Structure 1
Amino acid sequence: MAAKDRREELIAAGFRVMIRDGVAKATTRAIVNEAKMPLGVFHYCFNSREELLQEVLTRFTDSTMATARRTFEGEGDLGTRITRSLSAFWGTVELSPGEHQVSYELTHYALRQAGLEDLARRQYQHYREVHEELLEEVAEDADIEWAVPVPVLARYLNAVLDGVTLSWLVDHDGENSRAVLRLTGEHLLTLARERTRPAAQQAPVS
Protein backbone atom coordinates (compact mmCIF):
# COMPACT_ATOMS: atom_id res chain seq x y z
CA MET A 1 0.00 0.00 0.00
CA ALA A 2 1.33 3.44 -0.94
CA ALA A 3 2.21 5.85 1.87
CA LYS A 4 -0.64 8.16 0.82
CA ASP A 5 -3.15 5.33 1.09
CA ARG A 6 -1.78 4.22 4.45
CA ARG A 7 -2.11 7.79 5.68
CA GLU A 8 -5.76 7.88 4.60
CA GLU A 9 -6.43 4.57 6.32
CA LEU A 10 -4.89 5.84 9.55
CA ILE A 11 -6.96 9.05 9.46
CA ALA A 12 -10.15 7.05 8.98
CA ALA A 13 -9.14 4.62 11.73
CA GLY A 14 -8.38 7.50 14.07
CA PHE A 15 -11.82 8.95 13.47
CA ARG A 16 -13.49 5.59 14.15
CA VAL A 17 -11.60 5.12 17.40
CA MET A 18 -12.46 8.63 18.60
CA ILE A 19 -16.16 8.24 17.77
CA ARG A 20 -16.34 4.86 19.50
CA ASP A 21 -14.02 5.33 22.48
CA GLY A 22 -13.31 9.05 22.83
CA VAL A 23 -10.30 11.21 22.05
CA ALA A 24 -8.33 10.34 25.18
CA LYS A 25 -8.34 6.65 24.22
CA ALA A 26 -7.33 7.29 20.63
CA THR A 27 -3.69 6.48 21.27
CA THR A 28 -1.23 5.82 18.50
CA ARG A 29 -1.36 2.11 19.30
CA ALA A 30 -5.17 2.05 19.33
CA ILE A 31 -5.26 3.75 15.94
CA VAL A 32 -2.80 1.37 14.26
CA ASN A 33 -4.63 -1.61 15.77
CA GLU A 34 -7.88 -0.27 14.31
CA ALA A 35 -6.19 0.13 10.94
CA LYS A 36 -4.55 -3.32 11.27
CA MET A 37 -1.11 -1.88 10.65
CA PRO A 38 2.20 -2.16 12.54
CA LEU A 39 3.12 0.72 14.84
CA GLY A 40 6.08 1.73 12.70
CA VAL A 41 3.76 2.64 9.83
CA PHE A 42 2.18 5.40 11.90
CA HIS A 43 5.51 7.15 12.47
CA TYR A 44 6.32 6.77 8.79
CA CYS A 45 3.09 8.58 7.82
CA PHE A 46 2.82 11.16 10.62
CA ASN A 47 5.33 13.14 12.64
CA SER A 48 3.10 12.91 15.71
CA ARG A 49 -0.33 11.94 17.00
CA GLU A 50 -1.20 15.64 17.07
CA GLU A 51 -0.59 15.87 13.32
CA LEU A 52 -3.18 13.13 12.78
CA LEU A 53 -5.66 14.87 15.11
CA GLN A 54 -5.28 18.10 13.15
CA GLU A 55 -5.84 16.24 9.90
CA VAL A 56 -9.00 14.65 11.30
CA LEU A 57 -10.36 18.09 12.24
CA THR A 58 -9.49 19.57 8.87
CA ARG A 59 -11.14 16.75 6.93
CA PHE A 60 -14.24 16.95 9.13
CA THR A 61 -14.64 20.70 8.65
CA ASP A 62 -13.96 20.60 4.92
CA SER A 63 -16.48 17.80 4.41
CA THR A 64 -19.21 19.58 6.38
CA MET A 65 -18.68 22.90 4.61
CA ALA A 66 -18.46 21.27 1.19
CA THR A 67 -21.97 19.93 1.70
CA ALA A 68 -23.25 23.41 2.57
CA ARG A 69 -21.41 24.95 -0.41
CA ARG A 70 -22.80 22.43 -2.90
CA THR A 71 -26.37 23.14 -1.85
CA PHE A 72 -25.85 26.89 -2.08
CA GLU A 73 -24.77 26.56 -5.71
CA GLY A 74 -28.28 25.48 -6.79
CA GLU A 75 -31.16 27.55 -8.08
CA GLY A 76 -33.14 30.12 -6.08
CA ASP A 77 -32.82 33.58 -4.58
CA LEU A 78 -30.35 34.47 -1.84
CA GLY A 79 -32.75 33.64 1.00
CA THR A 80 -33.62 30.25 -0.44
CA ARG A 81 -30.00 29.34 -0.97
CA ILE A 82 -28.92 30.42 2.51
CA THR A 83 -31.74 28.38 4.03
CA ARG A 84 -30.80 25.37 1.92
CA SER A 85 -27.14 25.68 2.90
CA LEU A 86 -27.92 25.87 6.64
CA SER A 87 -30.28 22.91 6.29
CA ALA A 88 -27.55 20.91 4.58
CA PHE A 89 -25.18 21.66 7.45
CA TRP A 90 -27.82 20.57 9.93
CA GLY A 91 -28.31 17.35 8.02
CA THR A 92 -24.68 16.44 8.72
CA VAL A 93 -25.27 17.02 12.44
CA GLU A 94 -28.30 14.77 12.72
CA LEU A 95 -26.85 12.08 10.47
CA SER A 96 -23.38 12.01 12.09
CA PRO A 97 -23.65 13.19 15.70
CA GLY A 98 -20.62 11.16 16.74
CA GLU A 99 -18.36 13.08 14.36
CA HIS A 100 -19.57 16.43 15.69
CA GLN A 101 -19.15 15.26 19.27
CA VAL A 102 -15.56 14.30 18.48
CA SER A 103 -14.87 17.82 17.17
CA TYR A 104 -15.91 19.34 20.52
CA GLU A 105 -14.05 16.69 22.46
CA LEU A 106 -10.89 17.40 20.49
CA THR A 107 -11.17 21.10 21.32
CA HIS A 108 -11.47 20.54 25.06
CA TYR A 109 -8.83 17.81 25.04
CA ALA A 110 -6.33 20.10 23.32
CA LEU A 111 -7.04 22.99 25.70
CA ARG A 112 -6.45 20.70 28.68
CA GLN A 113 -3.16 19.25 27.44
CA ALA A 114 -0.04 21.33 27.94
CA GLY A 115 1.56 21.98 24.60
CA LEU A 116 -1.54 21.10 22.57
CA GLU A 117 -3.35 24.42 22.94
CA ASP A 118 -2.30 25.39 19.42
CA LEU A 119 -4.29 22.46 18.05
CA ALA A 120 -7.51 24.05 19.34
CA ARG A 121 -6.47 27.45 18.01
CA ARG A 122 -5.77 26.03 14.57
CA GLN A 123 -9.09 24.17 14.67
CA TYR A 124 -11.14 27.31 15.20
CA GLN A 125 -8.98 29.37 12.88
CA HIS A 126 -9.78 26.81 10.18
CA TYR A 127 -13.50 27.01 10.98
CA ARG A 128 -13.45 30.80 10.62
CA GLU A 129 -11.42 30.68 7.41
CA VAL A 130 -13.91 28.27 5.85
CA HIS A 131 -16.86 30.44 6.91
CA GLU A 132 -15.15 33.55 5.54
CA GLU A 133 -14.54 31.79 2.24
CA LEU A 134 -18.17 30.68 1.99
CA LEU A 135 -19.52 34.14 2.89
CA GLU A 136 -17.29 35.77 0.27
CA GLU A 137 -18.44 33.25 -2.33
CA VAL A 138 -22.05 33.98 -1.39
CA ALA A 139 -21.52 37.73 -1.79
CA GLU A 140 -19.76 37.36 -5.11
CA ASP A 141 -22.34 34.98 -6.54
CA ALA A 142 -25.34 37.05 -5.40
CA ASP A 143 -23.68 40.38 -6.28
CA ILE A 144 -24.15 41.76 -2.76
CA GLU A 145 -21.90 42.90 0.06
CA TRP A 146 -22.18 42.29 3.77
CA ALA A 147 -23.05 45.17 6.09
CA VAL A 148 -20.46 43.99 8.63
CA PRO A 149 -16.85 42.88 8.07
CA VAL A 150 -16.65 39.30 6.82
CA PRO A 151 -14.32 38.15 9.66
CA VAL A 152 -16.89 39.36 12.21
CA LEU A 153 -19.75 37.69 10.35
CA ALA A 154 -17.77 34.45 10.04
CA ARG A 155 -17.15 34.42 13.80
CA TYR A 156 -20.84 35.12 14.43
CA LEU A 157 -21.94 32.31 12.13
CA ASN A 158 -19.45 29.89 13.63
CA ALA A 159 -20.62 30.76 17.15
CA VAL A 160 -24.28 30.16 16.25
CA LEU A 161 -23.64 26.83 14.53
CA ASP A 162 -21.33 25.77 17.33
CA GLY A 163 -23.90 26.60 19.99
CA VAL A 164 -26.93 25.07 18.32
CA THR A 165 -25.01 21.88 17.52
CA LEU A 166 -23.73 21.44 21.06
CA SER A 167 -27.20 22.14 22.47
CA TRP A 168 -28.70 19.52 20.17
CA LEU A 169 -26.07 16.96 21.17
CA VAL A 170 -27.27 17.48 24.75
CA ASP A 171 -31.06 17.54 24.34
CA HIS A 172 -31.77 16.37 20.73
CA ASP A 173 -34.41 19.08 20.34
CA GLY A 174 -34.41 19.12 16.55
CA GLU A 175 -37.51 21.28 16.14
CA ASN A 176 -36.16 24.26 18.08
CA SER A 177 -32.66 23.76 16.68
CA ARG A 178 -34.00 24.11 13.14
CA ALA A 179 -35.97 27.18 14.26
CA VAL A 180 -32.70 28.76 15.41
CA LEU A 181 -31.18 28.08 12.00
CA ARG A 182 -34.16 29.68 10.26
CA LEU A 183 -33.74 32.74 12.48
CA THR A 184 -30.04 32.82 11.62
CA GLY A 185 -30.81 32.72 7.90
CA GLU A 186 -33.31 35.56 8.27
CA HIS A 187 -30.73 37.62 10.15
CA LEU A 188 -28.09 37.02 7.51
CA LEU A 189 -30.47 38.40 4.89
CA THR A 190 -30.81 41.66 6.83
CA LEU A 191 -27.03 42.03 6.65
CA ALA A 192 -26.90 41.65 2.85
CA ARG A 193 -27.05 44.88 0.85
CA GLU A 194 -26.59 45.98 -2.73
CA ARG A 195 -22.93 46.12 -3.63
CA THR A 196 -21.40 49.59 -3.65
CA ARG A 197 -19.87 50.27 -7.04
CA PRO A 198 -17.20 52.80 -8.00
CA ALA A 199 -18.58 56.05 -9.39
CA ALA A 200 -17.20 55.24 -12.85
CA GLN A 201 -19.41 52.13 -13.00
CA GLN A 202 -22.62 53.87 -11.96
CA ALA A 203 -25.16 54.85 -14.60
CA PRO A 204 -24.96 58.53 -15.59
CA VAL A 205 -27.72 60.81 -14.34
CA SER A 206 -29.75 62.18 -17.26
Structure 2
Amino acid sequence: MKAKVQNDIKAPDMTPYDGTSDPSHNLSNFRSRMYLMDASDTTRCKAFPTTLTKTVVKWFNSLPPRLITSFDDLTKKFLAKFFIKKDKSKHAPSLLEIRQGDRESLRNYMEKFNKACLDIKNLLTGATIMGLINGLREGPFSQSKSKKHPTSLNEVQEWAEKYINKEENSRLGETSKTGFSYTSRDKDKEPKKTEDQHTEKPRKYHNYTPFGYP
Protein backbone atom coordinates (compact mmCIF):
# COMPACT_ATOMS: atom_id res chain seq x y z
CA MET A 1 0.00 0.00 0.00
CA LYS A 2 2.97 2.31 0.49
CA ALA A 3 3.53 4.65 -2.42
CA LYS A 4 5.84 7.52 -3.27
CA VAL A 5 4.58 10.97 -2.32
CA GLN A 6 2.12 12.14 -4.93
CA ASN A 7 1.21 15.75 -5.75
CA ASP A 8 -2.44 15.00 -6.50
CA ILE A 9 -3.25 13.78 -2.97
CA LYS A 10 -2.70 16.28 -0.20
CA ALA A 11 -3.82 16.44 3.41
CA PRO A 12 -5.35 19.65 4.81
CA ASP A 13 -2.88 22.37 5.72
CA MET A 14 -0.72 21.35 8.70
CA THR A 15 2.66 22.38 10.03
CA PRO A 16 5.07 19.89 8.40
CA TYR A 17 6.61 17.46 10.86
CA ASP A 18 10.43 17.69 10.87
CA GLY A 19 11.26 14.78 13.18
CA THR A 20 12.38 16.87 16.18
CA SER A 21 9.14 17.12 18.20
CA ASP A 22 6.49 14.74 19.55
CA PRO A 23 5.31 12.64 16.55
CA SER A 24 2.00 11.81 18.24
CA HIS A 25 0.88 15.45 17.97
CA ASN A 26 1.33 15.47 14.21
CA LEU A 27 -0.39 12.10 13.91
CA SER A 28 -3.35 13.20 16.05
CA ASN A 29 -3.93 16.33 13.97
CA PHE A 30 -3.74 14.34 10.75
CA ARG A 31 -6.22 11.72 11.96
CA SER A 32 -8.72 14.39 13.00
CA ARG A 33 -8.61 16.03 9.59
CA MET A 34 -8.87 12.74 7.72
CA TYR A 35 -11.84 11.72 9.85
CA LEU A 36 -13.70 14.92 8.94
CA MET A 37 -12.96 14.24 5.27
CA ASP A 38 -14.18 10.64 5.62
CA ALA A 39 -10.98 9.55 3.87
CA SER A 40 -10.35 5.89 3.12
CA ASP A 41 -7.45 3.95 4.57
CA THR A 42 -5.61 4.05 1.25
CA THR A 43 -6.07 7.81 0.95
CA ARG A 44 -4.69 8.30 4.45
CA CYS A 45 -1.56 6.33 3.60
CA LYS A 46 -0.99 8.39 0.47
CA ALA A 47 -1.82 11.75 2.09
CA PHE A 48 0.18 11.32 5.28
CA PRO A 49 3.62 11.95 3.70
CA THR A 50 2.43 15.40 2.56
CA THR A 51 2.43 16.43 6.24
CA LEU A 52 6.16 15.69 6.56
CA THR A 53 9.24 17.71 5.70
CA LYS A 54 11.59 16.51 2.97
CA THR A 55 13.94 14.97 5.53
CA VAL A 56 11.21 12.82 7.07
CA VAL A 57 9.76 11.96 3.67
CA LYS A 58 13.11 10.36 2.83
CA TRP A 59 12.49 7.92 5.67
CA PHE A 60 9.01 7.14 4.31
CA ASN A 61 10.29 6.56 0.79
CA SER A 62 13.03 4.29 2.12
CA LEU A 63 10.48 1.79 3.48
CA PRO A 64 10.51 -1.47 1.49
CA PRO A 65 7.61 -2.02 -0.95
CA ARG A 66 4.54 -3.83 0.45
CA LEU A 67 5.85 -3.36 4.02
CA ILE A 68 2.87 -1.12 4.87
CA THR A 69 -0.47 -2.92 4.67
CA SER A 70 -2.70 -0.33 6.40
CA PHE A 71 -2.65 3.14 7.90
CA ASP A 72 -2.44 1.67 11.39
CA ASP A 73 0.66 -0.19 10.27
CA LEU A 74 2.14 3.06 8.94
CA THR A 75 1.47 4.91 12.21
CA LYS A 76 3.21 2.19 14.22
CA LYS A 77 6.30 2.43 12.01
CA PHE A 78 6.20 6.25 12.20
CA LEU A 79 5.97 6.38 16.00
CA ALA A 80 8.63 3.68 16.43
CA LYS A 81 11.02 5.70 14.25
CA PHE A 82 10.64 9.08 15.95
CA PHE A 83 9.65 8.39 19.56
CA ILE A 84 13.32 8.46 20.71
CA LYS A 85 13.72 12.10 19.71
CA LYS A 86 10.48 12.97 21.46
CA ASP A 87 11.61 11.27 24.66
CA LYS A 88 15.00 12.93 24.58
CA SER A 89 13.58 16.44 24.36
CA LYS A 90 10.81 16.10 26.92
CA HIS A 91 12.44 14.56 29.99
CA ALA A 92 14.77 15.86 32.71
CA PRO A 93 17.76 13.56 31.88
CA SER A 94 18.25 15.54 28.64
CA LEU A 95 19.48 18.45 30.80
CA LEU A 96 22.61 16.43 31.63
CA GLU A 97 23.69 16.82 28.00
CA ILE A 98 23.84 20.62 28.24
CA ARG A 99 27.39 21.80 28.90
CA GLN A 100 29.06 25.17 29.26
CA GLY A 101 31.62 25.63 26.49
CA ASP A 102 35.28 26.31 27.25
CA ARG A 103 34.89 29.96 26.22
CA GLU A 104 31.17 30.31 26.78
CA SER A 105 30.12 33.02 29.22
CA LEU A 106 28.13 32.12 32.31
CA ARG A 107 25.31 34.36 31.08
CA ASN A 108 25.01 32.49 27.78
CA TYR A 109 25.13 29.13 29.51
CA MET A 110 22.39 30.10 31.98
CA GLU A 111 20.15 31.35 29.16
CA LYS A 112 20.77 28.19 27.13
CA PHE A 113 20.00 26.00 30.13
CA ASN A 114 16.85 27.98 30.98
CA LYS A 115 15.57 27.59 27.43
CA ALA A 116 16.01 23.83 27.66
CA CYS A 117 14.05 23.78 30.93
CA LEU A 118 11.07 25.40 29.20
CA ASP A 119 10.73 22.37 26.92
CA ILE A 120 10.33 19.91 29.81
CA LYS A 121 7.01 19.42 31.55
CA ASN A 122 6.72 18.86 35.31
CA LEU A 123 10.42 19.53 35.84
CA LEU A 124 11.40 19.15 39.51
CA THR A 125 13.57 21.76 41.24
CA GLY A 126 16.13 19.17 42.30
CA ALA A 127 16.58 17.90 38.74
CA THR A 128 16.97 21.46 37.48
CA ILE A 129 19.68 22.32 40.00
CA MET A 130 21.51 19.03 39.43
CA GLY A 131 21.51 19.51 35.66
CA LEU A 132 22.70 23.11 35.94
CA ILE A 133 25.63 22.32 38.24
CA ASN A 134 26.56 19.23 36.21
CA GLY A 135 26.98 21.30 33.04
CA LEU A 136 29.21 24.02 34.51
CA ARG A 137 32.83 24.06 33.44
CA GLU A 138 35.53 24.22 36.11
CA GLY A 139 35.66 27.72 37.60
CA PRO A 140 34.74 29.97 40.55
CA PHE A 141 31.00 29.47 40.13
CA SER A 142 31.15 25.67 39.88
CA GLN A 143 33.54 25.51 42.84
CA SER A 144 31.22 27.60 44.99
CA LYS A 145 28.32 25.27 44.16
CA SER A 146 30.35 22.17 45.04
CA LYS A 147 30.90 23.54 48.55
CA LYS A 148 27.29 24.47 49.18
CA HIS A 149 24.50 23.09 47.02
CA PRO A 150 21.57 25.52 46.58
CA THR A 151 18.12 24.35 47.60
CA SER A 152 15.95 26.69 45.52
CA LEU A 153 15.91 28.24 42.05
CA ASN A 154 15.91 31.73 43.57
CA GLU A 155 19.17 30.91 45.35
CA VAL A 156 20.67 29.64 42.10
CA GLN A 157 19.62 32.81 40.29
CA GLU A 158 21.08 35.10 42.96
CA TRP A 159 24.41 33.25 42.94
CA ALA A 160 24.48 33.23 39.14
CA GLU A 161 23.87 36.99 38.94
CA LYS A 162 26.72 37.56 41.38
CA TYR A 163 29.23 35.62 39.27
CA ILE A 164 27.86 36.94 35.97
CA ASN A 165 28.54 40.49 37.20
CA LYS A 166 32.05 39.54 38.29
CA GLU A 167 32.75 37.83 34.98
CA GLU A 168 31.47 40.67 32.81
CA ASN A 169 33.14 43.40 34.89
CA SER A 170 36.39 41.48 34.59
CA ARG A 171 36.03 41.41 30.82
CA LEU A 172 35.32 45.14 30.77
CA GLY A 173 38.50 45.70 32.74
CA GLU A 174 40.55 43.64 30.30
CA THR A 175 39.07 45.54 27.34
CA SER A 176 39.92 48.92 28.90
CA LYS A 177 43.52 47.79 29.40
CA THR A 178 44.07 46.39 25.90
CA GLY A 179 41.71 48.60 23.90
CA PHE A 180 44.12 51.53 23.54
CA SER A 181 47.87 51.75 23.02
CA TYR A 182 50.03 54.73 23.93
CA THR A 183 53.56 55.64 22.94
CA SER A 184 56.04 56.69 25.58
CA ARG A 185 55.57 60.32 24.51
CA ASP A 186 51.84 60.05 24.91
CA LYS A 187 52.32 58.71 28.40
CA ASP A 188 54.63 61.63 29.27
CA LYS A 189 52.03 64.10 28.02
CA GLU A 190 49.22 62.38 29.90
CA PRO A 191 48.38 64.30 33.10
CA LYS A 192 49.17 62.44 36.29
CA LYS A 193 46.19 61.15 38.19
CA THR A 194 45.67 62.37 41.70
CA GLU A 195 44.90 60.08 44.57
CA ASP A 196 41.40 61.50 44.67
CA GLN A 197 40.62 60.10 41.25
CA HIS A 198 39.04 56.68 41.19
CA THR A 199 38.49 54.18 38.46
CA GLU A 200 34.98 53.68 37.17
CA LYS A 201 32.85 51.63 39.52
CA PRO A 202 32.00 48.12 38.30
CA ARG A 203 28.80 47.95 36.37
CA LYS A 204 26.04 45.70 37.67
CA TYR A 205 23.64 43.79 35.47
CA HIS A 206 20.06 43.02 36.37
CA ASN A 207 18.67 41.68 33.10
CA TYR A 208 19.40 38.02 33.75
CA THR A 209 16.77 35.72 32.30
CA PRO A 210 15.02 33.91 35.19
CA PHE A 211 14.16 30.23 35.17
CA GLY A 212 10.77 29.45 33.67
CA TYR A 213 8.47 26.52 33.16
CA PRO A 214 5.92 25.81 30.42
TM superposition score normalised by structure 2: 0.30
TM-score (norm 1): 0.30
Q: Which has the larger radius of gyration?
A: 2
Structure number having the greater helix percentage: 1
